[in-house]
Structure 1
Amino acid sequence: MATLFSLLLLFSAFLGAQSTFKVTNNCGYTIWPGILSNAGLAPLTTTGFQLQPGETRVIEVPASWSGRLWARTLCTSDPTSGKFSCATGDCGSGTVECGGGGAAPPVSLVEFTLNGGGNNDFYDVSLVDGYNIALVVFPQGGSGPNCVPTGCIVELNGPCPEGLRVVTGGQTIACKSACEAFSDPRYCCSGAYGNPNTCGPTSYSLFFKNACPRAYSYAYDDATSTFTCASGTAQYLLSFCPNSSSLRSSGGNNPEAAGVPLINDTMIFSDGSQSTHYFPNCFFKIFFSVFLVLSWLTTHV
């Protein structure tokens, strides 16, 4: 009987061994989050859903899950066929549920490896595949020196460089990576550039990095872009279009956190004290333009 009781306790603990993702839409428009489990892992109970402005959905996640989440925008269903599709982040399933489909770039991604090496949860926000929406990951109740918020809190579609813009109806709805836009190995970290010694930041990746210091801007941008919490200590809030009050309450304004600021001092929020729009200052605009010209000259002359 004692053995049976012990087994029941272990089974109960196993069932309770899970994490929680709290996904919140702070945008002024509807989004459709998508979720993809890594190869070999079972899909979560949902792989895609709709979130109205101000709405939150809580998702239970296995303790050792790994995969990615993102937001789809400007989604519609064809009135004749009923096929569901999105202008950004589409997963190709034809339905709200992605069902194993990944996000079409350009898209802002959240990546997780729960209960990874060293009994840590690893998480990051990646703009390697481009950008479509602002988002932040807030670990709640976690422990560890690198267990801090990360993400990209600014709206980058407006200031997106000309060659990277995705335009629909005269409006920029997403910002491509240089790899997708130009298919150049130098930007894709492929071929002769397929290792960290030969693939470094470029003028284009620096556009993303300057605005979002803690987000991945290119494939080998690990040092300032990967964060960890001790496994089993944190639940995770994923906030799309995060507002200033959520950032203040999370401690996300701490410029010393993980050694890299979450918030760049060239941004403000639109609620009166700050804005989620990013306006590079005059010096940066001039610097960025000169950098682009020099990059072109070193490649073509």
Structure 2
Amino acid sequence: MDKLTAKEIYETMVVGRRFEYAAKEHYMEGKISGFLHLDIGQEALSVAAMKAFDKGDVFTTYREHIMAIARGMEPKAVMAELFGKKTGVSEGRGGSMHLFDPSHFFYGGDAIVGGQIPNAVGCAYARKFQGSEDGVLVLFGDGASNGGAFFESLNIAGAWKLPLLFLCENNRYAIGTEITRVAPFLEQAKKAEPYMPTMEVDGNDAMAVYEAVSQAREYIQKGHGPIFVEAFTYRWEGHSMSDAGTYRSPQELSIWKSKDPIERMKRTLKEHYGMSDEELEAIEKEADAIVEEAVAYADASPEPELSTLHDHLFVSQEVRHALS
């Protein structure tokens, strides 16, 4: 990885964490409604995976704020969506769990656990039929790997050699259930081994994630069929803002916080790329400014007009004719 890419990954990780803390603050103030799933602690995986899979279609979970920003969405438009404002990426209609933007080939925020996996299979089939070389990435949690649609998707993707990268975000918990209580092993990649090649990576190491996803992307783009990558990481917050996370001990949290992916990437930039403390501090100040601007923009943006309440419920005649 060159210095420019490493710096860009770090910059986005820092923006992402500050964005999430700001979202948490304004949720508690009542400016953000509905569900809010924070990605604090998982920034290395969320950012590096998006940067490595720079072309192609992306399907994600509903813990997708940082992934959306890393994919290219403006932080202020993402924050406005969380605020339910007209200037949001989905015009305030999707909220935190539905950051959908076809212009960035980002079909994120499926609110059904594992619901994005069969959707990604369908997209990968379409892309293969079209002769596209970019492929498809689908990211999901360890809990989703216990669903029936997960195994059906592995089977179809493997049988038809679809250009699909399965990326499992193994943070050990499906809401409050530790994965080894509902699966016979921690490594969920074992479930995929009969269907396709598998890889494991430290999800808190941005450099390692970038390399693994880059290799996997190249594999599917060469027409070899699907591949499964499992990244081990950990969320510092509860499953959502309604989850106090009392099922985890303070000792467990302390251990994982000592593996902070942002601090790890900062050390890499200093030791491997020769960046100074002043350069890193400048990045942090810029991140603060970006997030402050995003909050101010979201706060000042208008609400969607009540008259548009029933818009986008059905396909328009113009769109229907264009698709026929």
TM-score range, shorter chain: under 0.3
Higher-RCO chain (CA-CA 8 Å, sequence separation at least 6): 2
- Structure richer in strand, relative to its length: 1
TM-score (norm 2): 0.25
